[in-house]
Structure 1
Amino acid sequence: MSNLQQPYSAITTNLMGNFSIHYTVLPGLDLKLSSGYTNVLLDTKAAVPATALNPSSNPVSSAYFSTNKAQNWIVEPTVSYNLKMGEGRMSLLAGGTFQQNISQTTSTKGTNYSSDQLLGSLVGAGLITSYFPNYAQYNFSSVYGRFNYSWANKYVLNATFRRDGSSRFGANNRWGNFWAVGGAWVFSEESFVKNNLSWMSLGKLRGSYGLTGNDQIPDYLYLSLYSVLRNPYLNQAGLYQVSTPNPDIQWETDRKLEFGLELGFLKDRIMLTANYYRNRSGNQLSYMSLPTQTGFNAYQANIPAVIQNTGVELAIESKNIVHRDFQWTTSFNITLPSNRLISYPNLAQSFYASTYIVGQPVNLTRLYHYTGINPQTGAPTFATKSGSGVPDYNTDRIVAPVGTPYFGGMSNDFTYKRWTLGFFIQWYHQKGYTNGSYNSAIGSSMANLNISVLNRWQQAGDANKLFPGASATPGAPIYNAYSYYYGSSDAFWGDASWLKLSNASLAYSFGEKSVKRMGLGMLRFYVQGQNLLLLNKNKYQLDPTTTVPGGPSGLGNGRYPAVPPLRTIVVGLNLSF
């Protein structure tokens, strides 16, 4: 009844538009202008009459009014010129991007109403206060140019340069220069290939190197930011500082190197693509530590780290069988990624001293080394340098091995007359957590848990159990060891590889004569399935796409039970009349 007496309304108005114009000045010379505009307005009202609240707290009627506005526009003018010179083709392009995003929030609270009939307006409020006002404006400008040249469809050269400006940086660091160069050789067009390798329909080598910039941080971090007090003292408005300024913050720069090979065989019935990439990110936009005496423990800055991501990507597409009644096609891909921290000067004195290690992946996991369960007490045991058996956070954590991860997928599609069959398999080879109930959930709450918790120590002499003994008594040795160390150990770290039949489908399309006899235009029967089968080494391992509301992916805990993806099977008909 109380909720029913507190009306709430939200009205959204959304306007979107775009405009583009193109004009050919001369043959090969073109002018183009593209633009877009978006305006979203959300108006909310909420009324809380005193009659809807507990009278023992002497409630006062109040009303809340909020307006959220998002306004974005972008303008992109370009001029391009294309010229053919014998067997060569050249194209030039110059342009710019001018963009602005504005978000604004105004929230007002009205109290001391003379009548609840006036709660829909601020006019009848005896006291009006503003809370959580917000305004942010983001401006982005860029000018750029591009040069492309190709000769006889064999040799390709391209180069780009752009100068980007962002309002998220201070006046001295607002602009960044970024460029890229690339080239390709289509060697299948060479006479020595055409005359001697007739089975090769495509052969192409390509490479590129360039710099890109990143400004994806909140607005105004180079300034001191203030916010309005949520609960004003004695109804007096006040401000407090929410961040410390950094006028030296600047663009993050990524240096990207890539080589690729594309091959086609037997008139493109078999297509192979292989890529190698190396991305080095520097000037990272992250956080630097501050003494807490300043009122803040960190501030946004460019850290001097260099992170490298490398990898090899392979993709194959083949038309295995091409027949009038039967076709079979296959697509296969695999990626072998690698990540590590190349350098970080003065890492030991930084905000990330206990998080990163030079030469190791940036997503490394540090864990205590688990040595088994004491068969007499049921308590887990750990390796410690001091020999005390109680792990030390600073000295006893080890870097969990990641091995050589790789992932990929394969799809197959079959067609036989009016029948079609297709399925997709994906896999991930990795080291990681192999159980979704590793943390301190046993005996801690009333919740559904992974069935692996049944395999726990229960009495003296139990050996080779997966879990330590359970205890509902805080302070007990088993409880303490389990809560504080076991969940942060490598007890469940190992081969977390998996292979999954993600989806499959089977369909039959009825013939034209049969359909016409039934008075239909089309009739198709189909069966589809998703999340059909998961194979892994550990029977207790959760589906890799399992999520936990409010918690980390793939981990169950006492408060938020893990939610595995649904296995879904759909049977249907497609009809047209």
Structure 2
Amino acid sequence: MFRKVNETTDYNAFNLFANYDKKIKRHELSLMGGLNIEESLYEQERMERDGVISADYPSISQATGVPVALDNYSDYAVLGVFGRANYSFSGKYLLGLTGRYDASSRFPEGHRSGLFPSVSAGWVLTREKFLSRLPVWMNEIKLRASYGAVGNQAIPEYAFYPAMDAVYADWLVGGAQVTTLTPPGLVSSNFTWATVQTLDFGIDLGLFKNRLTASVDWYQRDTKDMLYEGVQLPAILGTGAPLQNVAALQTKGFEVELSWRDKIGALGYRVGVNLFDSRGRIKSIKNEAGLLSQYYVDQELGEIWGFTTDRLYTVDDFVEGSLSDNLTGGQLKEGIPRREGQLPNPGDILFMDYDGNGIVNAGNNTLSDPGDRRVIGNSTPRYRYNVNAGFNFKGFDLSFVINGVVKAQQWRANQLTFPNLYNFGALYSDQLNYWMPGNETAFHARIYDQSAGNQSFNQSVQTRYLQNGAFLRMKNVTLAYSLPDALIRKIALERVQTFISIENAFTLDRLPSGLDPEINRSGDQGFGYPFLRLYSIGFNVSF
């Protein structure tokens, strides 16, 4: 097949704003107002045809198949006005007011506009006379508070149109496929902007002649009127429920920044540390049945539902004489549970039977009846951090950047986490500790020929094979040397520096070899394009 595609995106933006500043004695006022207009038009034309005559000179006209022409189109426009007013009294009382009024074509007519105000305030305590007796090493103390709202219009274009697509039917009329239309989906005509409201309290510190600076923030972010299926409809309807502004998400978190900069003789150094964390919970949503396959009220984002692993089945769990060599399963002794639909063999996974009915399953997959599944972990990275440090001594400069995560769980089902995951799959060196007669204490369960038998049960989401996603990564390390100023001035240069730099120098983690802790996209299970290690050597010359 030969395919020819032509895509164009015309994006136009117009921004107009003006500033006004005024200072009267100890009063400072700054005003800003503006206009924002954006338009985007996307078009695609595609033509394809089978039966290319020459692979060396492919073209639509030099093919023998039936030509197929397709196209795609989308556009949107945004109009907004915005303003900001900042006021300061003596540099110690600070007040800021901002606001936006936006309209977007992504929403139905009559529901396209929204007003999003914000307010912030600051108090520089160290400029107060009653705190003039603070220790000399306390240079700055500033308290901050803010509350603001922004709008979210990140939804597909034409989401309020009951579109019908033209497709080829699965039946023939007169010996040929006919063109038909798909049934339109249900749409709501009154949904509008989702609103993100953020409350923030913070403090800034400058200590020891500002060699040590610190910033601490606590925030709560409420995302209201999120678009989600507004009602639950029976599956017999044949289509999904319309989108409505019915969901809400609340996120709470903190961020701490510390920085120290000093000099010891000819050695200068700096160290900066940033630590932040957040947790998000669903506060409202339409899921009256409490289905675990959907979001539900009070759900923490990133929850991993699965079974709790007890141990591996042993020969002693089966009635004597019930096991056979053809791996069809044996008769379990009374009180030994099994997975629903499974006939276990020695070496298979034995899961915890929480409801005590002898059968391990997912129940009705609801909050009220989750069966034997529980929340076994959370994939949201917790306590993320960054470290930025540098040292300089007589022309030499060494700097590095580190980032990482203290706590996270990941469920990855791929060839690197399970032996013999797929038919004819390879076995890696760290997967050889699997169950077999004589190795009953193995880490991995029994494996089956061509990944058949109970292998799918053994590889269910469970606590035994939940991965630790914590890591430390050396993002960058750079060593540079600058020639002395006295030398380069003789050759009429301003600066000459040579350097060597390494990106992604190394990563410390507890994942199987070959997996990256920051690559865990849905679908590829960690086999996305990897982070590359890059080496750079160069010169910087300034005239």
TM range (shorter): 0.7 to 0.9
The offset of 1:544, in angstroms, is 1.2
Q: Which residue of structure 2 lines up, in the alignment, with residue 321 of structure 1?
A: 263
Distance in 1 between residues matched to 2:53 and 2:297, nearest whole Å: 66
How far apart, CA to CA, are the structure 2 residues paired with 1:574 and 1:83? 43
Which residue of 86, 96, 99 maps to 2:25? 86
2:289 aligned residue: 349
In the alignment, the residues of structure 2 paired with residue 569 and residue 266 of structure 1 have an alpha-carbon distance, to the nearest angstrom, of 38
Q: For 2:125 and 2:35, locate their aligned partners in 1 and report how far apart those are by CA, in whole Å.
A: 35
1:285 paired with 2:234, answer: no
Partner of 1:180: 118
Q: Which of 351, 359, 363 is the equivalent residue of 1:382?
A: 351
Letter in 1 for 2:186: T
In 2, the alpha carbon distance for the partners of 1:538 and 1:576 equals 45
Contact map agreement 2:192 2:245 (CA 8 A) in 1 = yes
- Specify the code of the residue in structure 2 equivalent to 1:88: H
C-alpha distance 443-79 of structure 1, shift in aligned 2 (>3 A) = closer
**Contact persistence 2:169–2:178 (CA under 8 A):** no
* Contact kept? 2:21, 2:29, Cα under 8 Å: yes
Amino acid at match of 1:467: H
- Residue equivalent to 1:310: 252
Q: Contact (CA 8 Å) 1:92, 1:146: kept in 2 or not?
A: yes
* CA pair 497-443 structure 1, distance change in 2 beyond 3 A: closer
Read off the aligned partner of 1:203 and give its amino acid letter: I
CA distance in 2, matches of 1:121, 1:541: 43
SS of 2:434 mapped into structure 1: coil
Is 2:75 the counterpart of 1:141? no
Correspondence 1:301 to 2:244: yes
Check 1:462–1:92 CA distance in 2 against 1; reply closer, same or farther (3 A cut). Answer: same
Residue of structure 1 aligned with 2:388, choices 411, 419, 424: 411
Query: In structure 2, the residue corresponding to 1:365 is in which secondary structure?
Result: strand
In the alignment, which residue of structure 1 is the partner of 2:406? 429
Answer yes or no: is 1:368 the counterpart of 2:281. Answer: no
Aligned ranges for residues 444-463 of structure 1 at < 5 Å? 444-446=422-424, 451-459=429-437, 461-463=438-440
Change (3 A) 1:249 1:192: same
Deviations 1:337-374 (A, max 9, x none): 22222334x52337x54344433412211011111212
Cα root mean square deviation, aligned: 3.9
In the TM superposition, residue 527 of structure 1 has moved relative to its aligned partner by: 3.4
Equivalent AA in structure 1 for residue 301 of structure 2: V
Structure 1 pair 159/522, CA: closer, same or farther in 2 (3 Å)? closer
Question: For the structure 1 residues 441 and 230, does the alpha-carbon distance in structure 2 shift closer, same or farther, using more than 3 Å as the test?
Answer: farther
Give secondary structure in 2 for the equivalent of 1:452: helix
Please give the alpha-carbon distance, in whole angstroms, between the structure 2 residues aligned to 1:562 and 1:226: 34
- Matched with 2:273 is 332
1:361-393 Cα distance to aligned partner (Å, 9 max, x none): 122110111112124411111112254354335
Does 2:157 align with 1:219? yes
Q: What does the per-residue CA deviation read over 1:527-550, in whole Å, with 9 as the maximum and x for residues that have no partner? A: 333434433467769431346896
When residues 70 and 534 of structure 1 are mapped into structure 2, their CA distance, relative to the original with a 3 A threshold, is closer
1:137 & 1:269 partners in 2: Cα distance?
A: 52
1:262 and 2:204 correspond: yes
Match of 2:376 among 395, 400, 407: 400
Report the residue type matching 2:161 in the other structure: L
Give the conservation status (yes or no) of the 8 Å contact 2:287–2:294: no
The number of residues matched between the two structures is 498
Is the 2:381–2:405 Cα contact (8 Å) retained in structure 1? no
Deviations 1:268-321, CA, capped at 9 Å, x for gaps? 221111111100112112345543433323443323x32111111000111132
Q: Partner amino acid for 1:250?
A: T
TM-aligned CA deviation for residue 109 of structure 1? 5.6
Please, what TM-score do these two structures have when normalized by structure 1?
0.75
Aligned to 2:41: 102
Change (3 A) 1:387 1:431: farther
Structure 2 residue runs without a partner (length 5+): 316-345, 366-370
Deviation of 1:475 (Å)? 4.7
Contact 1:329 1:412 in 2 (8 A): yes
TM-aligned CA deviation for residue 89 of structure 1: 1.7
The offset of 1:199, in angstroms, is: 2.6
Q: 1:126 to 1:328 in 2, by over 3 A?
A: closer
* Counterpart residue identity of residue 283, structure 1: D
Relative to structure 1, is the Cα distance of residues 112 and 75 closer, same or farther in structure 2, using a 3 angstrom cutoff?
same
Cα distance between partner residues in 2 of 1:422 and 1:447: 44
Pair 575,176 (structure 1): closer, same or farther in 2 beyond 3 Å: closer
Q: Using a 3 Å threshold, how does the CA distance of structure 1 residues 392 and 414 change in structure 2: closer, same or farther?
A: same
Moved more, 155-164 or 442-451: 442-451
In the alignment, the residues of structure 2 paired with residue 448 and residue 320 of structure 1 have an alpha-carbon distance, to the nearest angstrom, of 54
8 Å contact kept, 2:411–2:461: no
Matches within 5 A, 1:537-576: 542-546=515-519, 551-553=524-526, 565-570=531-536
Q: Are the structure 2 counterparts of residues 92 and 391 from structure 1 closer, same or farther at C-alpha, using a change threshold of 3 Å?
A: same
> Residues 520 and 150 of structure 1: is their aligned pair in 2 closer, same or farther, counting only changes over 3 Å?
closer
State the match for 1:201 in structure 2.
Answer: 139
Give the 5 Å matches for 1:46-61: 48=2
Report the CA distance shift for 1:380/1:281 in structure 2 as closer, same or farther (over 3 A): same
Relative to structure 1, the CA distance from residue 362 to residue 538 in structure 2 (aligned partners, 3 Å threshold; closer, same or farther) is: closer
Find the residue that maps to 2:157 and give its secondary structure.
coil
CA distance in 1, matches of 2:410, 2:63: 59
- Cα distance change on mapping 1:433 and 1:452 into 2, 3 Å: farther
Residue 336 of structure 1 aligns with an amino acid whose one-letter code is D
Q: How far apart, in 2, do the equivalents of 1:493 and 1:104 lie?
A: 44
CA contact (8 A) 1:382 1:389 kept: no
Letter of the structure 1 residue corresponding to residue 361 of structure 2: P
Change (3 A) 1:540 1:125: closer
Contact in 1 for aligned 2:419/2:447 (Cα 8 Å): no
Q: Could you tell me which amino acid in structure 2 is paired with residue 211 of structure 1?
A: A
1:24-50 deviation digits (Å, cap 9, x = unpaired): xxxxxxxxxxxxxxxxxxxxxxxx5xx
Indicate how the Cα distance of structure 1 residues 450 and 282 shifts in structure 2: closer, same or farther if over 3 A, else same.
Answer: farther
CA shift in 2, pair 1:83/1:575, >3 Å: closer
User: Could you state the TM-score of these two structures normalised by the residue count of structure 2?
Assistant: 0.79
Q: Percent identity?
A: 23
SS at match of 1:172: coil
Instruction: List runs of 5+ in structure 1 lacking aligned partners.
Output: 1-5, 7-47, 49-63, 554-560
Range moving further from structure 2, 250-259 or 510-519: 510-519
Shift of 1:80: 3.9
